[in-house]
Amino acid sequence: MIKKYYYPCVLSRFIENPFVRLYLHTLKSLKKQNIYHKLSHQLSHITYTFIYLIYQLHIHTLTMDGGDDMNVDRMVARNGTKGTVDKDGNLTSADYYFDSYAHFGIHEEMLKDEVRTNSYRWAIERNPHLFKDKIVLDVGCGTGILSMFAARAGAKHVYGIECSGIVDVARKIVANNGLEDKVTLIQGKVEEVTLPVEKVDIIISEWMGYALLYESMLDTVIYARDQWLVEGGLVFPDKSTLYMCMIEDSDYKSQKIDWWKNVYGFDMSIVSEMAMAEPLVDTVDAASIVTNHCPLITIDISTVKKEDLAFQVPFKLTATQTDYAHAFVMWFDIEFSKCHKPIYFGTGPHHRYTHWKQTVFYFDGEMTLNNNETVEGMVTCKPNESNHRDLDFKLEYTHEGEIQKSGENTYVMR
Cite the active site residues. Answer: 206, 215
Q: Among 386, 395, 237, 387, which residue's Cα sits nearest to residue 304?
A: 237
ω before 342 within 30° of 0 (cis)? no
Q: What whole-number distance in Å separates Cα of residue 224 and Cα of residue 219?
A: 9
Residue 145 burial (C-beta neighbours within 10 Å; 0-12, 13-18, 19+): buried
* Greatest CA separation for the chain: 70
Residue type at 365 in one-letter notation: G
Check: CB of residue 206 under 8 Å from CB of residue 120.
yes
DSSP helix/strand/coil, 215: coil
Q: Among 302, 342, 336, which residue's Cα sits nearest to residue 218?
A: 302
Q: Per-residue b/e over 95-133, b at no fewer than 16 CB within 10 Å?
A: bbbbebbbeeeebeebeebebbbebbbbbbeebeebbee
Residue 402 burial (C-beta neighbours within 10 Å; 0-12, 13-18, 19+): exposed
Q: What whole-number distance in Å separates Cα of residue 55 and Cα of residue 342?
A: 46
ω before 237 within 30° of 0 (cis)? yes
Question: For residue 292, how many other CB atoms are within 10 A of its CB?
Answer: 13
For the chain, the C-alpha Rg in angstroms (whole number) is 23
Check: CB of residue 3 under 8 Å from CB of residue 285.
yes
